[in-house]
Amino acid sequence: MFSKILIANRGEIALRIIRACHELGIEAAVVYSEADKDLPYLQLADEAICIGPASPTDSYLSIPRIISAAEITDVEAIHPGYGFLAENAHFAEICQECGITFIGPTVQAMQLLGDKVEARRLAQKARVPVVPGSDGSIDNESEALKLANQLGYPVIIKAAAGGGGRGMRVVHNDMSLRSALGAARAEAEAAFKNGTVYLEKFIVEPRHVEVQVFADKAGNALHFYERDCSIQRRHQKLIEESPCPILDEHTREELCKAALRLVKQAKYVNAGTIEFLLDKDKKFYFIEANTRIQVEHPVTEMVTGYDLIKLQLQVASGQTIGLRQRDIMHSGVAIECRINAEDPLRDFAPCPGRVDEFIVPGGPGVRVDTHINQGCNIPSSYDSMIGKLIVHQKTRAEAITTMKRALKEFRIGPIKTTIPVCLDILSHNLYIKNKVDTGFVERHF
């Protein structure tokens, strides 16, 4: 097991990793930017190193600064968290060259699965169903038009180097395809330094269902069941739950097995998530693989009872997972609400600033993962998520009741948050009756 690692991230995930480290007897060094210097979790770390000014480019996204911090703290490994450099294969490569273990998958797996076109190919090789679409990238307009008409509109243009909901455009006819193609390419070039795009049939009103997977260096691959993340706004998840409430046992088994086939095909190691779309006929299609631990990992932790971050540290240090698939069971229902510092009444505009009131809910079945407490300042330089509220109960109805109770107890001010929106969603008839899809939030809120 490692004796000391560096956490190359910030906020609630940095705190989450510190906690796992301390339970395993690992010393946790953490980096921070000047904007984060007063955050309380820095005091919990064994060492905190200032690596730069507020700007992410000069701090959390700066490979040289992070590697230097790893060198001066003399750590054996780096945990990249999620976002920032977590899926940056080049960063993983540099860690390797510097003799520092990257807590995550191999460089090759990240490169393979990070390219969405390659990931699709790999899935097809592994006999994992994919959304009908282009065989590789789309290189010209006539190719795009021909394929779109074959597949049938609507179709979606996606960036090969994109992901996380970025670099995607839905088009409904030849005319909009023509105009969107050039724009999508330009956006992809600007955002990901790679203008390659591909085409997929656009699945109407799908559910987003993803499988938590885990593999160790000995080749053991396991799944920790699925999460339903259909409650999204502009492709950013807002509410997640496990299990997927409309999945029958047979489809669940097929889904998880398919995810594991892809894991083995990619020779994947450590934690990952395989994302699928579920259409109205309960057919699932692979869309992308996330080669990192995810924001919503607590949902899986609650229903399975396993600490995924500790497992990441164990696997990265060379230990085997030490579990068999039949040891992993899911029990009850867990729901997570992301608490974002955004104003729902002003089109979810970010609300940085001081938090004068911060009263966290509690009671049976309630878990709160946050780095914020009263008096903290929310900087404007980073994303707006300030915490996660997770509940776990025996049934979905009870989980919804507890979540609503906990959301009402949660007092954050004077900044605005997404708490009211979450309450509205959880009270909505369609959500309660499991008749939602990824477009639900935008249609109704």
Select 29 or 168, whichever has its Cβ closest to other proteins. 29
Adjacent-strand bridge partners of 286: 130, 276
Listed in order, strand segments (DSSP E) in 297-416 are: 333-340, 342-343, 349-350, 353-354, 357-359, 366-370, 377-378, 385-393, 411-413
Site track 30-69 with other proteins (rule: CB under 8 A), x = hit:
--x-x--x----xx-x-xxxxxxx-----x----xx-xxx
Task: Give, in order, the Cα–Cα distances in Å from 79 to each of 102, 416, 439.
Answer: 6, 31, 34
Nearer to other proteins, 96 or 173 (CB): 96
Q: Which is nearer to other proteins, 59 or 370 (CB)?
A: 59
CB of 27 to other proteins, least distance (A): 12
In terms of CB distance, is 52 or 243 closer to other proteins?
Answer: 52
For 1, the token pair is 């097991």
Angstrom distances, CA of residue 54 to CA of 57, 61, 144, 343: 9, 11, 42, 23
In angstroms, what CA-CA distances link 337 with 64, 74, 305, 417? 35, 37, 19, 11
Q: Kindly write out the interface string for residues 211-250 of this chain, putting x where it contacts other proteins by CB under 8 A and - elsewhere.
A: ----------------------------------------
Residues 230/436, Cβ–Cβ less than 8 Å: yes
Residue 359 Cβ vs other proteins, minimum distance, rounded to whole Å:
24
| Residue 88 binding other proteins, by CB under 8 A | no
- Closest CA relative to residue 399, chosen from 431, 366, 434: 366
> Least CB distance from residue 98 to other proteins, whole Å?
7
**Pattern 134-173, binding to other proteins, x per CB under 8 A?**
----------------------------------------
Residue 287: helix, strand or coil by DSSP?
Answer: strand
For other proteins, the binding residues in 13-32 under the rule CB under 8 A are 32
Q: Tell me which residues are annotated as active site.
A: 292
Ordered DSSP codes for 148-175 = HHHH-S-EEEEEEEEETTEEEEEE-SHH
Is residue 72 involved in binding other proteins (CB under 8 A)? yes
Q: Which is nearer to other proteins, 56 or 167 (CB)?
A: 56
Q: How far is the CB of 410 from other proteins (least distance, A)?
A: 29
CB of 243 to other proteins, least distance (A): 41
Residue positions counted in the chain:
445
Least distance CB 29 / other proteins (angstroms): 8
| Number of residues in contact with other proteins under rule CB under 8 A | 23
Query: Nearer Cβ to other proteins, position 32 or 268?
Result: 32
Residue 105, both tokens: 């998958």
What's the closest the beta carbon of residue 75 comes to other proteins, in angstroms? 12
Site map for other proteins, 98-127, x if CB under 8 A? x-----------------------------
Q: In the complex, what is the shortest distance from the CB of residue 35 to other proteins, in angstroms, rounded to a whole number?
A: 11
Among the residue ranges 70-78, 310-318, 396-404, 431-439, the one whose residues contact other proteins (CB under 8 A): 70-78
Cα dihedral angle (234, 90, 309, 256), rounded to 10 degrees?
60
Q: Least separation, in Å, of the C-beta of 119 and other proteins?
A: 31
The answer to whether the beta carbons of residues 293 and 321 sit under 8 Å apart is no
> Using the rule CB under 8 A, is 422 a contact of other proteins?
no
Q: C-alpha distances in angstroms, 369 versus 75, 120, 339, 388?
A: 26, 34, 10, 5
Please state, in angstroms and rounded to a whole number, the distance separating the CA atoms of residues 386 and 37. Answer: 16
The answer to whether 161 and 116 have CB atoms below 8 angstroms apart is yes
The upper half-sphere exposure of residue 358, i.e. CA atoms within 13 Å in the direction of its Cβ, equals 19
Which of 71, 135, 253, 327 binds other proteins (CB under 8 A)? It is: 71
By C-beta, is 67 or 168 nearer to other proteins?
Answer: 67
Phi and psi, residue 195, nearest 5°: -85, 10
Between 49 and 293, CB nearer to other proteins: 49
CA atoms within 13 A on the CB side of 350: 12
Pick 7 or 311: Cβ nearer other proteins: 7
Strand arrangement of the beta sheet that strand 166-171 belongs to: 166-171, 155-163, 197-201
- The footprint of other proteins (CB under 8 A) covers 32, 34, 37, 42-43, 45, 47-53, 59, 64-65, 67-69, 71-73, 98
